Amino acid sequence: MNASILATAVVPWTDRFEFDEATFRRQVHTIARDLTRNIYVFGTAGEGYAVTERQFDRIATAFWQSSQECDVSPMLGVISLSLPTIVDRISRGHAMGFREFQLSLPSWGALADREIDVFFAETCGRFPDCKFHHYNLLRTKRLLTSVEYKRLAEAHPNFIAVKASTDDPAILADLLTVSPRIRFFFTEFGYTIARRTHDVGLLISLASVNARRAKAFVAGDDARRTADVPELRAIVASLKEVSAGRFHIDGAFDKMLFRASDRGFPLRLLPPYASATEEDFERFFAALPPSWRE
C-alpha cells in the first residue's frame, strides 16, 4: 500500500448494540467513492478493543465483502491484551482473504524491548505473506522511536508502515530517519510538517468531515496545507468543547466526523464507553468552519 490517504471505517451499532451491517457497508462505499480506497477497520476508533470474537468475525467478513465490491485495499486491525488472541484473529482474517493488518501493542503494561521483539516475531514473523502496520499510540503505554523501528524493519521485511498522531517536530524528525524503508502515516498536523520534506501519507481524522477539502489538503502545496491548519485546529477546539469531558474514546469523535458525510450514521459506542448525543453532533456540525460544512 502506497496510499496518500488512509481512512478508518467505524462500526455502527443499533439501539440494541447489534452490528448495523447495512449502514457499515454503506460507509465503506461512501469512503471508497468520495475519499480513498485505502481503508482499515478495528483501529482504536473502530472499537477493535471492545468487540467479541463473534462480532470481530462478522464485521471483518462484512468489511472484506464490501471491500471487494468497491475495489478497496482493506486492512484489518487487531487489538487485544492477549498475544494468542491477536495471532488467532490474524489467522482468521488471513483465511477470509486479508493480507494487510494493523497492530497495536498489548496495553496491560508497557512492553520491554525483548517483549516488543517477541510480539513482532509472533505476528510479522508468523505470517510472512502478509504486510503489517503498527499504530504507535500512547494508549499502549509505550511509544516506539526510530531505534526500535530500525531494529524491527531489519528483522521483518513485511513490516511496512507506521501510523502516528504526533505533531512534535523532534519526534517527527526522529521517526522519519526510518523513511522510506517504513512508510509513515500522520494525522493532519504532523502530516503538514512531515510532508514538507518526506513522502508521507495522511492518517485522516479531522479532515474526514469534508472529502473534497481533505483531498485538496493532500493535493495542495505546503502553503495550502499550512493555511488550512487554523481551521483544522478550530475543529479540534469544537470537539473538545462539545465533549466537555463527558466522552473521550476515539470512536466517539470519529463517528461524529463521519456523520458529517452521512447524517443517518449512529453515534453509539459499545458500553461502558460514553458516546456523543444527537445534540452534541448538531452543536459540533453548526460550529464547523463554513468551508468545511459544504
Q: Structural domain tally of the chain?
A: 1
pLDDT tens by residue, 59-68: 999 999 999 9
Longest dimension (CA), the chain: 50
139 assigned to some structural domain: yes
Q: Name the region of 5 (left: φ>0; alpha: ψ -120 to 50; beta: rest).
A: beta
Residue 17 domain-assigned?
yes
Examine residue 226 and state whether it is found in any structural domain, yes or no.
no
Note whether residue 217 is domain-resident. no
Report the distance separating Cα 111 and Cα 119, nearest Å. Answer: 9
Q: What is the CATH number of the domain that holds 97?
A: 3.20.20.70
Residue 117 lies in a domain: yes
Q: Can you give the pLDDT at residue 3?
A: 61
Please identify every stretch of the chain with a pLDDT value under 70, giving residue numbers as ranges: 1-3
pTM for the whole structure: 0.95
Domain containing residue 34: 5-210
Residue 244 inside a domain? The answer is no
Task: Give the residues across from 162 on adjacent strands.
Answer: 134, 184
Q: Residue 47: what pLDDT?
A: 94
Q: Grid coordinates in use for 111?
A: 512492553
Q: What is the pLDDT of residue 157?
A: 98
Residue 44 has what pLDDT?
Answer: 84
Calpha distance 60→1 (Å, rounded): 19
In a domain, 269, yes or no: no
CA dist., res. 46 & res. 13, Å (int): 11
Residue 97 maps to a domain: yes
237-287 pLDDT, tens digit each: 999 999 999 999 999 999 999 999 999 999 999 999 999 999 999 999 999
The grid cell for 164 is 502516528
Please give the pLDDT value at position 45: 83
